[in-house]
């Protein structure tokens, strides 16, 4: 079937968009993750709202620690978005070619998006776990990527994989809603546009709004699982200076899905499953909206560059054969 240049173009533009949006919003992501990872105990909590995390970094002179784990997060984000967008685009092309259909319905779109998300979760889970541990470590005490990955067993690096697979429904819902809304808007624009005019594309502002809307819907529907995942992957702050093996074993037992669900239910009640929802929506909506906006704007440029590189390689090969 050869190299799918269109899928590579989609993947590259998506990965670049993810890299930029992740970097811009990373301090907010760190505050959000540390806030989500804390479980209220006996009516007391360290962080009562998101701003408390930011104030801790400022008051302790650890503002730069808001960027701890940025390199790992960017690496994970770049690979994840490249794999996801490549898989999503490739699966869509494969389906259209084999089915003979001219369009993809919502149900099929969800299945294809979930398939791409599953591939992404498996490939990037160790990096996802490492970045979460770095972000939830005490400010100024974050470890490097290699040390974070090797301080436990191989299975520890895949903490939260089960929930990550469940959460493939999040981007599946998000991108399906985005694609459906996008296609409807483009069809409306196409009817009004002149056939001899330039190709119809979404404006940056429209892409931003569609990205925000689609991510809000996906985040609300999957948030309880998102919080459980953060708590499973969080660093063991309480045991950093504790050599008691019994306490370490108890801490590990709490990092199962059932253990985390039980802890939230006992200490915070049903509303605890939605603690930090506003912070999650703020961060992920801005991030996803920026990602999709950037992706929409650079996709055409990426496609032209890929075609230019391909043409250059073909010309070079042709010259070598003639020599």
Mean pLDDT value across residues 53-63: 89
Do the domain assignments include residue 56?
A: no
Mean pLDDT value across residues 4-33: 80
Do the domain assignments include residue 262?
A: yes
- Predicted pLDDT at 246: 44
- Predicted pLDDT at 321: 56
- Predicted pLDDT at 194: 60
Percent of the chain with pLDDT over 70: 83
For residue 161, what are the β-bridge partners? none
Residue 107 to residue 229: CA distance in whole angstroms? 26
Q: Which of residues 237 and 97 earns the better pLDDT score?
A: 97
pLDDT digits 0-9 by tens, 113-158: 888 888 889 999 999 999 988 888 888 788 888 888 888 777 888 8
Q: How confident is the model at residue 4 (pLDDT cuts 50, 70, 90)?
A: low
Using an 8 Å Cβ cutoff, are 161 and 125 in contact?
yes
Identify which of 222-226, 232-236, 263-267, 280-284 has the greatest average pLDDT.
222-226
Do the domain assignments include residue 153?
A: no
Do the domain assignments include residue 147?
A: no
Do the domain assignments include residue 289?
A: yes
- Cα Rg of the chain, angstroms: 22
Using an 8 Å Cβ cutoff, are 293 and 203 in contact?
no
- Predicted pLDDT at 196: 52
Count the domains in the chain. 1
Domain of 251 in residue numbering reads as 160-191+198-237+244-315
- Predicted pLDDT at 224: 92
Inter-helix orientation angle 204-233/106-136, to 10°: 60
As to burial, measured by CB atoms within 10 angstroms (0-12 exposed, 13-18 middle, 19+ buried), residue 52 is middle
- Predicted pLDDT at 248: 46
- Predicted pLDDT at 193: 65
- Predicted pLDDT at 225: 92
Does the pTM surpass 0.75? The reply is: no
Do the domain assignments include residue 205?
A: yes
Q: What contacts 170, CB < 8 A, 6 or more positions away?
A: 117, 218, 219, 221, 222, 226
Q: How confident is the model at residue 11 (pLDDT cuts 50, 70, 90)?
A: confident
Please provide the average confidence, as pLDDT, over all residues in the chain.
Answer: 79
- Predicted pLDDT at 250: 47
Do the domain assignments include residue 47?
A: no
Predicted confidence (pLDDT) at residue 15 exceeds the cutoff of 80: no
Q: What is the largest CA-CA distance in the chain?
A: 80
Q: What contacts 113, CB < 8 A, 6 or more positions away?
A: 88, 168, 171, 172, 173, 175, 176
- Predicted pLDDT at 2: 52
Using an 8 Å Cβ cutoff, are 235 and 199 in contact?
no
Predicted confidence (pLDDT) at residue 218 exceeds the cutoff of 80: yes
pLDDT digits 0-9 by tens, 75-125: 988 888 788 878 888 888 888 888 878 777 777 877 888 888 888 899 999
Do the domain assignments include residue 252?
A: yes
């Amino acid at each position: 079937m050869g190299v799918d240049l269109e899928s590579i173009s989609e993947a590259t533009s998506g990965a670049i968009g993810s890299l930029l949006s992740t970097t811009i919003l990373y301090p907010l992501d760190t505050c959000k993750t540390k806030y989500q990872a804390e479980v209220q105990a006996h009516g007391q909590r360290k962080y009562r709202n998101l701003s408390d995390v930011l104030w801790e970094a400022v008051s302790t002179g650890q503002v730069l620690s808001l960027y701890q784990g940025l390199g790992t997060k960017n690496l994970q984000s770049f690979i994840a978005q490249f794999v996801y967008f490549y898989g999503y685009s490739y699966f869509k092309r494969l389906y259209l070619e084999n089915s003979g259909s001219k369009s993809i319905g919502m149900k099929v779109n969800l299945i294809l998006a979930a398939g791409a998300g599953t591939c992404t979760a498996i490939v990037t889970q160790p990096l996802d776990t490492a970045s979460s541990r770095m972000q939830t470590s005490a400010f100024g005490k974050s470890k490097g990527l290699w040390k974070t990955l090797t301080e436990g067993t191989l299975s520890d690096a895949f903490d939260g994989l089960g929930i990550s697979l469940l959460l493939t429904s999040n981007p599946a819902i998000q991108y399906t809603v985005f694609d459906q809304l996008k296609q409807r808007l483009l069809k409306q624009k196409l009817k009004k546009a002149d056939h001899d005019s330039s190709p119809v594309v979404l404006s940056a502002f429209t892409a931003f709004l569609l990205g925000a809307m689609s991510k809000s819907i996906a985040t609300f529907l999957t948030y309880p699982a998102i919080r459980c995942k953060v708590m499973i992957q969080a660093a063991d702050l309480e045991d950093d200076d504790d050599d008691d093996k019994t306490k370490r074993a108890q801490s590990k037992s709490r990092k199962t899905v059932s253990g985390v669900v039980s802890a939230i239910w006992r200490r915070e009640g049903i509303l605890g499953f939605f603690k930090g929802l506003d912070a999650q929506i703020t961060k992920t909506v801005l991030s996803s909206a920026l990602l999709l906006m950037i992706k929409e704007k650079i996709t055409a440029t990426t496609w032209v560059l890929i075609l230019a590189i391909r043409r250059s390689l073909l010309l070079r090969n042709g010259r070598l054969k003639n020599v």
